[in-house]
Structure 1
Amino acid sequence: MQHINILMVDDHPIIIEGYQNTLMATKKDDQTLLIDTANSCDAANQLMQRASKEKPYDICFFDISLPSSADGSINSGEDLAKIARSILPNAKVIILTMFNESYRIHNIIKEISPDGFLIKSDLTSSELAEAFQHIITSPPYYSSTVSNYLKKSITSDIYVDDINRKILHLLSQGIKTRSLTEHIDLSMSAIEKRKKQMKLLFSVEDGKDETLLEEARQKGFL
């Protein structure tokens, strides 16, 4: 019998229920699925920390858009995936997202190299079942939108690292630039330099932070 420990993270309980029902209905006869669920970054992190000490997960499903952790250190499924990579090294990581923006897709592949990458608008229950079995035996599995982007020869120049993502996140929370040094271990001039680079990156012509945030939002970085 193959026991498969699974973590599913999505802030919409009905979506998790759909995933669970699909996997339970399509699992192989010799598979037993043990599924934990979480609706927020904090809940997911607690489950992963516990699993790393007791019974590690074999597969983790992460939705990208999730409520941030209370301390603001974990802001997305992407951040959770990085934690999983470090404390659950043998777990297969599956990213699920509504974002179908090529910049965002390239970024996630570059940062996380997920074992599965599924765009929700591509997803049917039969594709989820197929992806799941494929990832157990021979990852990776990328849904059609992701595969199509990867086939395109032009890889995106837009690459936003963790610190830049944190700057964007804090600005979007209404924190002023002058206060960013309290949250990020960089000098004010280093933060300003990063903001300037991002404005170039996102083609912000009016130089305003609001426009930067709007562009970042449209490209799926917020």
Structure 2
Amino acid sequence: METIRILMVDDHPIVREGYLRLLERQPELSVVAEASSGEAALAAFATHTPDIVLMDLSMPGAGGLAAVEAILARDPHARIIVVSMHQGAIFAQKAMAAGARGFVSKSSPPEELVSAIAKVMSGRKALSTDMAQEVAQTSLGRDDIAALTRRELEILQLLARGMSGRTIAKNLGLSAKTIQNNLSQVRAKLDATGDADLVLKAQRAGLTPSGQ
């Protein structure tokens, strides 16, 4: 059996070590490189041309989604599986929309990651069981949250966490008018009647810790 070469991208050394030990127990898998940022991931991908990239989302710098897009811009056939602590369906949908072929939450059993690698190598897409359930239960298809830009999604998340428009503006270093313009766009895209409706949709999509 030919060895599957893996690039592992995560900014936490302990997490990388844990996955390294898991993957080393699989005779057909070999971690050929590690990276702790999106920029380092792109450089490592160019150097090692791995069969699979395991990509975290929350990292310093541009972050995982930007790294997914950058790697695919270099090689449209790259096989990327996002492995993230984020469990809301929107994160899985955003990752897949960016071109990732799989999404596994870090709370999944170890065998889910091994299974996802096998599925992606065989040309299929892969979601860990918990993420598949999240996607099935959410109203993302109707609400079209996945159509939001990164900035709009960020503003919606902050609104759903209880921040006012003025506080969001201060937090992001933008003007209050810019925030209101973005919120107007979000309301239009999600067909929301107001901010309270936006918060409800965000919670249903899993954008907040208490979201269902």
Q: What TM-score comes out, normalization by structure 1 length?
A: 0.68
Listed one character per residue, the Cα deviations across residues 96-132 of structure 1 (whole Å, up to 9, x for unaligned) are 11222233333333x22422210111x2222222222
SS of the equivalent of 1:219 reads coil
Q: Is the 8 A contact 1:5 1:34 kept in 2?
A: yes
Q: Which runs of 5+ in 2 are unaligned?
A: 159-167
For 1:105-184, list aligned pairs within 5 A: 105-109=92-96, 111-121=97-107, 123-152=108-137, 154=139, 155-157=141-143, 158-159=145-146, 160-162=148-150, 164=152, 174-177=172-175
1:204 to 189, 195, 198: 195
Report if the CA contact (8 A) 1:58-1:90 is conserved.
no
Secondary structure in structure 2 of the residue aligned to 1:26: coil
Alpha-carbon distance in 2 for matches of 1:143, 1:134? 11
Match status 1:35 vs 2:32: yes
User: In the alignment, which residue of structure 2 is the partner of 1:64?
Assistant: 57
Structure 1 counterpart of 2:66, from 59, 69, 79: 79
Assess if the C-alpha contact under 8 Å between 1:102 and 1:156 holds in 2: no
Partner in structure 1 of residue 85 of structure 2: 98
Task: Tell me by how many angstroms 1:153 deviates.
Answer: 7.7
Once residues 54 and 44 of structure 2 are traced to their aligned partners in structure 1, the CA distance between those partners, rounded to angstroms, is: 13
Q: Percent identity?
A: 24
TM-score by length of 2: 0.70
Native 8 Å contact 1:96 1:119 kept in 2: yes
**Residues 95 and 103 in structure 2, CA contact (< 8 A), matched pair in contact too:** no
* One-letter amino acid of the structure 2 residue matched with residue 136 of structure 1: M
* Runs of at least 5 residues in structure 1 that lack an aligned partner in the other structure: 179-187, 206-210
1:47 pairs with 2:33 = no
What do the CA deviations read for 1:23-63 (whole angstroms, capped 9, x no partner)? 111133xx6x2421111223223323xx1xx5422111111
Give the 3-state SS of the residue equivalent to 1:99 in structure 2: coil
Q: Which amino acid aligns with 1:13?
A: P
Root mean square deviation of aligned Cα: 3.4
**How many residue pairs align between the two structures?**
187
